[in-house]
Amino acid sequence: MKIALINENSQKKKNVFILEVLEKVAKKYGHQVFNYGVSMDKDADIDYVGAGLLTGILLNTKAVDFVITGCSTGEGVLISANAMPNVFCGYVGDLVDAKLFSKINAGNAVSIPFGKYFGVGSEYLLESIFEALFTTDFASGYPSERKEVQNIQRESLEFLKKTTQIPFEEVIEQVDKDLLYSVIHNEYFAENFFLHSQDDRTSNLLKDLFDAWE
C-alpha cells in the first residue's frame, strides 16, 4: 500500500517526527510512505485547505492508496478533505478512533490533531494509532453483529457523495489556481506524483499547469 503523509504548514516543525513514527510502523507491514507534507527542508507551503485538495489529488489519481493528514486540531483538514470527491476522511484522535474508523467507516484518509501529540510519550500514542490503522480489518464491523448494516450505510454514503459532488476532473479545472499552485508547485510533488499517478488525464492537466508556472 502506498501511503501519503500530508501535514499542513502549522505543523512543519513536527513533520520529521511524524514521518519517523509512520515509517517505523508502515515498513513492518510492507507499506511505502511518501512525505508530501510540509517540512522544514521542503519548499512546499500548504495550509489546511491545500492539504484537503492535495488529499483529493493523490487519492483520485491513485497516486497513493491512503492518506495520513492533519493540522493542529485535525478539524480543518478533515473538512477540506471531505469536500473532495471520492475522499472519505475520518477524524482520528486516539487508538479507539483509529480502530472504529477502520472497522466501521473504512475510509481512505484520516485527519489527526498533530498539535496534541508532542510531549512525553507522544511517539507511543502516534505509533498506536498507526498500528491500529494498518492492522485492523477494514469494514469488519463493530460490534460484529452490525457489520451488514454498517456496510450498507458505507455504500449509501459513497452514492451520496457521487450525487452531490462534481467529478474530480472538473474540480481541477475550476479550482482557484493560486491554491492549486501552492499544492503542486514544489520539487517533491514533481518527483513523486507524476511517477505514481494512474490518471493520465489529470496528470497531463497538472503537468501542463506545472510547466506553465515554471
d(Cα 144, Cα 147) in Å, to the nearest integer?
5
Neighbouring-strand partners of residue 111: 69, 91
Give the pLDDT of residue 151. 94
Q: What is the pLDDT of residues 165-190, one digit of tens each?
A: 999 999 999 999 999 999 998 888 98
Cα 184 to Cα 158, 187, 194, 196: the distances in Å are 27, 9, 11, 14
Q: What is the pLDDT of residues 80-135, one digit of tens each?
A: 999 999 999 999 999 999 999 999 999 999 999 998 877 778 899 999 999 999 99
Domains of the chain: 2-213 (3.40.1400.10)
| Largest pairwise CA distance in the chain | 56
Q: Check whether 45 has a pLDDT greater than 90.
A: no
Cα dihedral sign, 181-184-187-190: negative
The residue to which cell 466501521 is assigned: 104
